Structure 1
Amino acid sequence: MELRTHNRYGYVPLRGRADYTWPSGRRLAVYFALNLEHFSYGEGLGAELAPSGPHPDILNYAWRDYGNRVGAWYMLDAFDALQLPMAALVNSAMYDYAPALVAACRARGDEIVGHGRTNAERQGDLDEAAERALIGEATQRLTEAEGRPPEGWLGPWISHSHVTPDLLAEAGYRYLLDWCMDDQPIWFSCRGGKRILAVPYPQEVNDIPQIVGRKIGGEAFADIIIDQFDEMLELSQTRPLVMGVALHAYLVGQPHRLRHLKRALRHIAKHRDRIWLTTPGAIARHCVDLPAGVVP
């Protein structure tokens, strides 16, 4: 029986792959991704603190809005205190709604990553022309605001159509973050002989699946970050690995969870001399410069 496949990458088991190192001979690359998202009021998709009622759903809208107004600023203070780099995954609507927040990330030197127009929509629901327009609109806005095009993309809601990697490669993107199938970067084949790099993005060390989906508390989520880091630091002695941490300010920017997030950040920061604290864009650039065939 032949099953349908995506035809983007072949099966290459972790054991036996070509070996390489990150800069300065480091074996574990660690990055933090802060999702900066804006949602439509009274319509559209949105993460939920409680089951939504009739629109306008002010409880969930206001809960999400707390992240942009308050929680993200607490988080930036925490990252500043430990001098930790970050990637800001930005809905282009944020430039209209909360430009000061994106500007604060820019001032820190954080990487600005494309994250669609808004998380009130899914790009995978669109036909090819409309999806191309969505990618183009978001890319243009980020390019105008940042003075250079974004290198990477995370789809709103991790949403893909069958042609999303093709459209991203054709739009000039170097990497995408939507796939969680590996702990190393992997090349995706795209139409027209193009390719795009899949940089690992976590769905386990991610506050939405854990806190909203599995209903765990801030203390347990911080423990997950620490346990993931400690084990991956040990595993990386054998091969280079990437550990990402996915964060949303309306979740871990809440003070009772922030307290535990800070504990996890301090734990990682004290090992900074043994790891590569970086961004997904820097990981992608490093992989592009490796000899052909090293990255599967």
Structure 2
Amino acid sequence: MQAFYADHFVLPLPSGHRFPMQKYRLLRDRLLAELPQVQLLEAPRASDGELALAHAPAYVEAIQNGTLEPAHQREIGFPWSPAMAERSRRSVGATVAACRAAWRDGVAANLAGGTHHASADRGGGFCVFNDLAVAARLMQAEAFRTQRRALKVLIVDLDVHQGNGTASIFARDDSVFTLSLHGEKNFPFRKVPGDLDVDLPDGCTDDAYLHALELALEAVEQRFAPDFVLYLAGADPHEGDRLGRLKLSDDGLEARDRRVLDWAWQRGLPLAFAMGGGYGHDLSSTVRVQFNTYRVAADYHARWQARLAARVA
């Protein structure tokens, strides 16, 4: 299973900054040591043209040149630097590459990504460019160019924070369906309605969460027939997360991942996933949750390979 990383493009942050940048390298190290069936590849760099599929060119230029208004830069939560601009492009490129690999192989991943708070002309909440939106639009463009068909994309956003940026980008686009399960009282406090939003109370535990997910997937099936799935597998619903406010266990999050991957597998839908948020009091718990997502995904990738081999035979 191919997975794309960009953690070696280091985003310089001031001392004491609350964003856990090191988690990406820790995840890659653990995958390298313990899950050899995952092929780790450097993320390509998203081009201006690719970013413009979901973002205003003036915004892309401002990020590249460091000319964003200070208030908007503060809203992102990172200080500007050339490294910030480069890493943001690489994170988008990783999801684009994962989508192309998943289209071919069934399942693929971005070790970062899930930057769902970025809208067309501004960032926010540690999100600069919206990798999910760019990748969805690029997959649609490539499908139309090569197959002359309109690709329908389902975005399953299971980060604990609502994907307001993604919802705003696709608000008038019937070819992309946005599903979000998130904390009702958590950031962003002014949510942008998506196609299906499920608000969860503080302290939500495994059984209630998995029941809500099941009902949501049933509702999606009644309303939308996707050709491709983008999955944001946030670790921040975990009970040990300092920003999440939900109470899912390791087992609950693994069951969540397995349900989404199985839902796509049963319907023959290629799936690419990104990691989204994770801010554990103990960072090792975040890495453990994210590693478990890869372990589950690798199982489904193996199933896809068997299915594809049988078709060739």
User: Per the shorter chain, which TM-score range?
Assistant: 0.3 to 0.5
**Greater relative CO (CA pairs within 8 A, separation 6+):** 1
* TM-score normalised according to structure 1 size: 0.37
* TM-score normalised according to structure 2 size: 0.36
Larger Rg: 1
